[in-house]
Structure 1
Amino acid sequence: MGSARARYLVFFQYLGTEFNGVAAVRGAQRAVGVQNFLEEAAERLNSVEPVKFTISSRTDAGVHALSNAAHLDVQRRNGLPPFSAEVLAEALNTHLRHPAIRVVQAFRVPDDFHARFAATSRTYLYRLATGCPRPGQLSLFERNLCWVLRSDSLDVTAMQEAAGHLLGTHDFSAFQSAGSPSGSPVRTLRQVSVSPSPTSPFVLPEESRKVQFWSLEFESQSFLYRQVRRMTAVLVAVGLGALAPTQVKAILESRDPLGKYQQQVAPAHGLFLKSVLYGDLGKSCPPAGHRVQKHLSPH
């Protein structure tokens, strides 16, 4: 007697420092992606067919995720009933062989659910640090989690004004890196913010008087390849006085990705995928702010 295939939506997080991005690296290369470890853990589920993770949001080498998402199919052997979502999440975490990856939550979803195409919102967070003349002076625990600027301050008011030019629906060709698989460069940026962050608990008290952290957040249904890191680099140029806010509008309207400032790409290690939302599906899931269907039960 065969058993039915069950599809799950899982939310997971990772520190991206040691990975070649989230996507699996196939073949004999030494580099590995987060997906490699997730699928290796899923082998222990003893599914009839090998379990493949369909990732919602691709992230580059060194980029982190507070919450990414993926769907996967599991078909148990010998007519056994499907795993509950809680058991699935616990099993994956038990068999994960890398300490920098964690499955946060799982849900049963319909067989036609697609983690990438069903997402209605993605939010990225970029962290900056000022007041630290040399990167080596920053706390060890923050070095791979933010971009250290060789400046004591940022003109945040100018950055916020510049960010306003990016809001809305535009052709973002000027902020797209070569190699993007996307067809149209038109995207709708729903939110962009620039704000000071609380003092890091990983910075010693005597250092915290000098070091200031800043957060940039970007929300859209989807982004072009490296769009967030390119927009961040331009906004930082504004904050450092190298660009006027009105020049950001001119860069956007130029649709030219090869200009002096829009060619700059902020370092990967300051970037976090903060959340992936499935907003039209109903309620919010407390642990990481995900919205999923009302009828999607963890059981």
Structure 2
Amino acid sequence: MGSFPAASSARARYLVYFQYLGTNFNGVAAVRGAQHAVGVQNYLEEAAERLNSVVPVKFIISSRTDAGVHALSNAAHLDIQRRSGQPPFSPEVLTEALNTHLRHPAIRVLQAFRVPSHFHARHAATSRTYLYRLATGCPRPDQLSVFERNRCWPLRADCLDVAAMQEAAQHLLGTHDFSAFQSTGSPAASAVRTLRRASVSPESCSPLVLPQESRGLRFWSLEFESQSFLYRQVRRMTAVLVAVGLGALTPAQVKAILESRDPLGRHQSRVAPAHGLFLKSVLYGDLGPASTQPHVPSESQHRSHR
């Protein structure tokens, strides 16, 4: 990570990994001036106020998530400037302090790292992976274990044509214009993205479901990896793949939808529910998960991600 000067009242920049259950939040981004809607960032910055930074602490979030979407591991960078003569917080102390002052039980800071002042949590990310969870064999949502509610998309169908879903997912891999899977409101200047991985696989029976509850229930995971995604791209791709699994679409139709670049078509305008979606990881360089100390890009590498 390199060395950092211990100058008096110097700002220290940190990369922080954190997780949350998104059920009761209006997304990860802070909601300003609202009485009832609140984002995960509001609580993180409220906790950071207790650190007595000379300047207000703002979390620059790597990956925006919508209301109801969860994160196994999201990331953000923040600057802390302590009073003159006080050394910067160690990453371990910062992690413990933030968790101590967090006032919501559905948020937890996983780990923190010192990074150079040019580091940017959003621009420097080289990989983002999303997980979407499905449950089949669930005629009514209230038949799903309370511990799995708001953590998967319950489907009435008893099974999915997983082979067809996997075939359809292959059409999405690679570099394409994903306009057909972009919801309105996206700030992206270009809809071209490179999807590195799209997988559909069965889960073992959920440990949160009792044996007597699990009759007919099966759980499935869809994973998508890219450097970045368009607004609601993952949820719209998921909805189309589920339609394939249910026999409403063919894999060839998914290819046609992608090539149409039309976000308003009858099939591609469907959006999977937010509560089944998890941001699984945000990676920097060729690093692994949050437990691995991140490699920080050089100035030239950093500029290439702007």
Give distance in 1, aligned partners of 2:73 and 2:43: 16
Amino acid at match of 1:201: P
Gaps of 5+ in 2: 1-6, 298-306
Match for residue 273 of structure 1? 279
Q: Distance in 1 between matches of 2:157 and 2:235?
A: 19
Aligned amino acid, residue 156 of structure 1: V
2:131 paired with 1:125: yes
Aligned residue number for residue 292 of structure 1: 294
Aligned equivalent of 1:23, options 21, 25, 29: 29
Report the 3-state secondary structure (helix = DSSP H, G, I; strand = E; otherwise coil) of the residue aligned with 1:17: coil
Instruction: Kindly indicate whether residue 160 of structure 2 is the aligned counterpart of residue 158 of structure 1.
Output: no
* Rounded Cα–Cα distance in structure 1 between residues aligned with 2:192 and 2:289: 30
Alpha-carbon offset, residue 29 of structure 1: 3.1
Deviation at 1:198, TM superposition (A): 1.0
**Matching of residues 35-184 of structure 1 within 5 Å:** 35-184=41-190
Distance 2:276 2:293 in 1: 25
User: Is structure 2 residue 249 aligned with structure 1 residue 247?
Assistant: no
Cα distance change of structure 1 residues 251 and 291 upon mapping to structure 2, 3 Å threshold: farther
**In 1, Cα distance between equivalents of 2:84 and 2:28:** 33
Change (3 A) 1:154 1:172: same
Instruction: Give me the whole-angstrom Cα distance separating, in 2, the residues matched to 1:131 and 1:113.
Output: 46
Question: CA offset at residue 235 of structure 1?
Answer: 0.1
TM-aligned CA deviation for residue 20 of structure 1: 0.1
Aligned-residue Cα RMSD (Å) equals 1.4
Q: Which runs of 5+ in 1 are unaligned?
A: none
Q: TM-score, normalised by structure 2?
A: 0.93
Structure 2 equivalent of residue 208 of structure 1: 214
Of 260, 264, 267, the residue aligned with 2:266 is 260
Tell me, what secondary structure is at the counterpart of 1:51? Answer: coil
Q: Distance in 1 between matches of 2:47 and 2:295?
A: 26
Amino acid paired to 1:83: F
Tell me if structure 2 keeps the 8 A contact 1:131–1:211: yes
Q: Compute the displacement of 1:294 (Å).
A: 7.5
The Cα offsets for residues 11-65 of structure 1, whole Å up to 9 and x where unpaired, read as: 0000000000000000133100000000000000000000000000000000000
Alignment-mate amino acid for residue 295 of structure 2 = Q
User: Contact 1:279 / 1:291 at 8 angstroms: preserved in 2?
Assistant: no
Show the counterpart of 2:196. Answer: 190
Partner Cα distance (1:291, 1:200) in 2? 31
Q: 1:109, 1:7 → 2: CA distance?
A: 6
The number of aligned residues is: 291
Contact 2:115/2:296 (<8 A) preserved: no
Distance 1:150 1:231 in 2: 20
| Distance in 2 of aligned mates of 1:30 and 1:244 | 43
Moved beyond 6 Å, runs of 4+: none
